[in-house]
Amino acid sequence: MADLNDEKPLRKISEAFKELAATVNSQTADVEVAPFARACSHISTLFACLGIAFKFAEKDYVAKVNDLAGAARSIGTLQALLERDVEANTVRKGGSHSRNLLRVKRGIDMIRVLFEQILVTEGNSLKDAASKSYAQVLAPHHIWAIRTAVAAGMYALPTKAQLLKKLNEDETSARIHMQSYISTSAPVIRYIDKLYLSRGLGVDW
């Protein structure tokens, strides 16, 4: 029998991040790579629902999440993943797990800001919410050509109603799941930042 949750990506995202946040907040266990990559993979659906404006972000994000999912076969925790690259001196190298993790974290953060903006923006347009979340989280790390392509694609964003229909949610249920994700993704984002900052690696590269 098909799992009804398969048709509810927003619920899947909020439940997966609830579990990650519980691990982070317990402070007794390190975040494992496999469940982290699994939780992040649910967000890919959201990028896909946003259409052409976020096509590049979606492709980039999916590739990086797939890399982490592959890494999970031989690396247990996010901490170990970072340590391995530190020892090999490959943290900032293109394609390294550490570099990819940082970019996946930005994807998580962009969706968090997007949800915050959706919840406080009146009307049916997603343009303001999407523009603000992109400008705040991803734009500073993108070259001019990508920023321009994203700006041009904003006209093709779905409306809020169309997005909810794609996600198979009504306004009330969507609000609950979005608020849940906002509050549970924040400690996960802080946890990842701390992994880098505590090793003097920085997070703005």
The fraction of the chain above a pLDDT of 90, given in percent, is 86
Q: What is the pLDDT at residue 4?
A: 43
> Which pLDDT does position 55 carry in this prediction?
87
pLDDT in tens, 28-69: 889 999 999 999 999 998 999 998 888 888 999 999 999 999
What's the pLDDT band for 172 if we cut at 50, 70, 90? very high
In angstroms, the CA 182 to CA 169 distance is 17
Instruction: Give me the chain's average pLDDT, please.
Output: 93
Separation in Å, CA 69 to CA 1, 9, 35, 42, 95: 26, 19, 9, 13, 14
Is residue 5 predicted with pLDDT exceeding 70?
no
Contact between residue 114 and residue 141 where contact means Cβ atoms under 8 Å apart: no
State residue 27's pLDDT score: 83
> pLDDT-derived band of residue 6, with 50, 70 and 90 as boundaries?
low
pLDDT at 185: 98
pLDDT tens column, 60-86: 999 999 999 999 999 999 999 999 999
Residue pLDDT, tens place only, 127-140: 999 999 999 999 99
Helix (H) or strand (E) holding 47: helix 33-49
With 0-12 / 13-18 / 19 or more C-beta atoms within 10 angstroms meaning exposed / middle / buried, residue 111 is buried
Q: Which residues contact 202 (CB under 8 A, 6 or more apart)?
A: 196
| pLDDT mean over 151-159 | 92
Domains in the chain and their CATH numbers?
A: 11-197 (1.10.3520.10)
Question: What does the pLDDT average to over 89-115?
Answer: 96
* Angle CA 106–33–55, to nearest 5: 35
